[in-house]
Amino acid sequence: MEIIKTPIEGLLIIQPRVFGDSRGYFYESYSAKQYKENGINIDFCQDNLSKSSYGVLRGLHFQLYPHSQTKLVSAVQGTVWDVAVDLRASSPTFGQWYGIELSEENHTQFLVPQGFAHGFSVLSETAIFSYKCDDFYNPSLEGGIAYDDPALNIDWKIPADKAIISEKDTKHPLLKDAKLNF
């Protein structure tokens, strides 16, 4: 597997080795041993899948400390534009975001550490999105920031009039007003 650093410390792109032939392909989507050999020592405890149609925008979500989550995300089917926003107060990249296209074709994984908000938009007709978490979901510590915060100016790669957003996600505060403890 290849690990690629992003301009934001801690955010990693992981490209697994894919073995393909005329029958299709095979790859290990996760191996604790292989991750540890590459310096990634995370104990994942919960796997989640979501299915969405074109234009669905989910985010930007996080959980506050002490139950903040590291997420290892990928697209099992379809294509998504995945975004992480640095919420770590002491980070030189606080408030900066990084986006990457994840798809069933590129098999790319994105490691989003604790202290980041996370979201994605669906670029294909449908998508099945997978994420491993290192802590359990805790609704009392759930937080979010506005997906359309002008200070972030995130390009979600879908036309605004085609975006499908949950009512909950339309009510998140701007980053400057968000309750954070990272």
User: Which position among 35, 98, 131, 147 bears the catalytic label?
Assistant: 131
DSSP E strands in the chain: the ranges are: 2-5, 12-15, 19-21, 24-26, 46-53, 57-63, 71-77, 79-86, 97-103, 109-112, 116-122, 126-133, 142-144
* Share of residues in the chain with pLDDT > 70 (%): 100
pLDDT tens readout for residues 58-90: 999 999 999 999 999 999 999 999 999 999 999
**CB 175, CB 151: distance < 8 Å:** yes
Cβ proximity of 130 and 108 under 8 Å: no
131 is catalytic: yes
What pLDDT digit, counting tens, does each position of 128-177 carry? 999 999 999 999 999 999 999 999 999 999 999 999 999 999 999 999 99
Enter the pTM of the model: 0.94
Domains and CATH numbers, the chain: 2-177 (2.60.120.10)
pLDDT, the chain, mean: 96
Instruction: Select which of 61, 107, 118, 172 is catalytic.
Output: 61
Question: Residue 65 catalytic?
Answer: no
